[in-house]
Copies of this chain bind each other. A is one copy, B any other.
Amino acid sequence: MPVAPPLTRGPADQVAVRRTNLGVVLRHLRHGGPSSRAGVAAATGLNKATVSSLVGELVERGLLVERGALHRGTVGRPGQEVALAGGGTAGVGVEVNVGYVAAVVLDLGGRVVHAARTPLDVPRAGVDAALDEAARLVDGACAAAAAAGARPVGATVAVPGLVEQAEGRVAYAPNLRWADVPVLDALDRRLGGSVRRGLPLGVDNEANLAALAEAAVAGPDGAAHLLHLTGEVGVGAGLVVDGRLLRGAAGFGGEVGHMPLDPAGDLCGCGRRGCWETLVGLAALLRAAADPGDPVRDPSLDLEARLALLARRADAGDARTAEALARVGTALGVGASILVNVLNPRLVVLGGYFAALGEHLMPPLLDELRVRVVAPGAGGARVVRSTLGLTAAARGGAQVALDAVLDDPTLVTAPAGSGTVLTLDEEDHR
């Protein structure tokens, strides 16, 4: 049997082996596309009888569908094809950030089924108002999933701060002004016991989740070694190393905003001087680009519109805007060079406002990487702008909820009203 429980756990646990193998088949069909049972067996190394039994269970659980016969000139009776029932299962991601609360519904096939975003001044509105809105968006997301024919299987909340995952608690999120907030308990209460209703909840750092979402769309080349940098009020980083999120010993890894780059620099919110955040945070850019009273500095206007205005000014040759962007791009490169030297990523993805203004930030950033990264050619790192926009973190949250099902497909029960789907002629395909 090709898949086994960890070796330290003692004799094989057949239930665990089957659970793992269900996930192996499901992941294979998700990434490889539709296939015959024989094709799944060949690709996974599982024997055909096992594959037939696993496929039967996954069909019954509504995660796979059987479809039309294959006619590819094969000798003998044509086999039936199995495919991911991608639209039947969905993950929910919710992001609570400084200026908004957002939700995304992603189905198992990777399609965004629903997205919603509520502007909210979270630091001023307070914890309760933000969580009220998050709960409302989760409810809306579940309703939207159901309307699209997809069962929501879990929801993950993204927060810009230090998260204690096991406790479902945000230890510290300075830009939200949150400290020691039991997010999951509070959300579960608002959702009327969502865990009991079969919607497990999770909470994770926003930059981690955004990095996972970027890795999922990066393609095989960049996915294994990826550095995701998000420009917002602060700077968030999500690090993918050897294909896995770098969380560190206690889950606090990836904190980059307070890298001390200049002892004579501006005072930071943290009380020290010259932190990276003071050089490349949104406030630094806006202050350098415009005087108070200028619309780009008006927090009541939509951020995307203000960034678009800045880009137009730079394109039109406005000297102050151009200089502000050049200065931020250089500082972005100085800080990024530290991370590229330490982590040697294949892909650096710029998110948040760095993506929106990437066209202008990129040239000075690349100049700095060129001279400051010790390995030749910046160690092979490519820098790209995120294409996921402000949905990246919520999308990563939805992915994490779906990953739980890929790890253990038995989390999903058979859809109501479904009969047994194991067909009598299943032997034919072995």
Measured between beta carbons, the chain B residues less than 8 angstroms from A344 are 247-255
- The distance in angstroms between the C-alpha atoms of A42 and B10, with both chains bound, is 5
- The distance in angstroms between the C-alpha atoms of A225 and B44, with both chains bound, is 32
- The distance in angstroms between the C-alpha atoms of A237 and B243, with both chains bound, is 22
Judge if A338 is at the interface, Cβ distance under 8 Å. Answer: yes
Interface string of A355-382 (1 = CB under 8 A from B): 0000000000000000111111001110
Judge if A419 is at the interface, Cβ distance under 8 Å. Answer: no
Judge if A384 is at the interface, Cβ distance under 8 Å. Answer: no
- The distance in angstroms between the C-alpha atoms of A341 and B224, with both chains bound, is 21
Judge if A12 is at the interface, Cβ distance under 8 Å. Answer: yes
Task: Give A264's nearest chain B residue, CB to CB.
Answer: B264
**Structural contact, B162 and A342, CB atoms closer than 8 A:** no
The residue in A12, A44, A45, A272 that gathers the most chain B C-beta atoms within 10 A of its C-beta is A45
**Structural contact, A8 and B43, CB atoms closer than 8 A:** yes
Task: Give A375's nearest chain B residue, CB to CB.
Answer: B252
**Structural contact, A249 and B379, CB atoms closer than 8 A:** yes
Measured between beta carbons, the chain B residues less than 8 angstroms from A379 are 248-250, 252
**Structural contact, B171 and A255, CB atoms closer than 8 A:** no
Judge if A159 is at the interface, Cβ distance under 8 Å. Answer: no
**Structural contact, A345 and B264, CB atoms closer than 8 A:** no
**Structural contact, A345 and B12, CB atoms closer than 8 A:** no
Interface string of A39-63 (1 = CB under 8 A from B): 0001111000000000000000000
The residue in A42, A45, A248, A372 that gathers the most chain B C-beta atoms within 10 A of its C-beta is A248
Residue contacts A-B, CB under 8 angstroms, 5 given? A10-B42, A246-B246, A260-B261, A262-B262, A342-B343
Given contacts A253-B344, A339-B342, 4 further A-B contacts (CB under 8 A): A10-B43, A241-B248, A251-B344, A257-B374
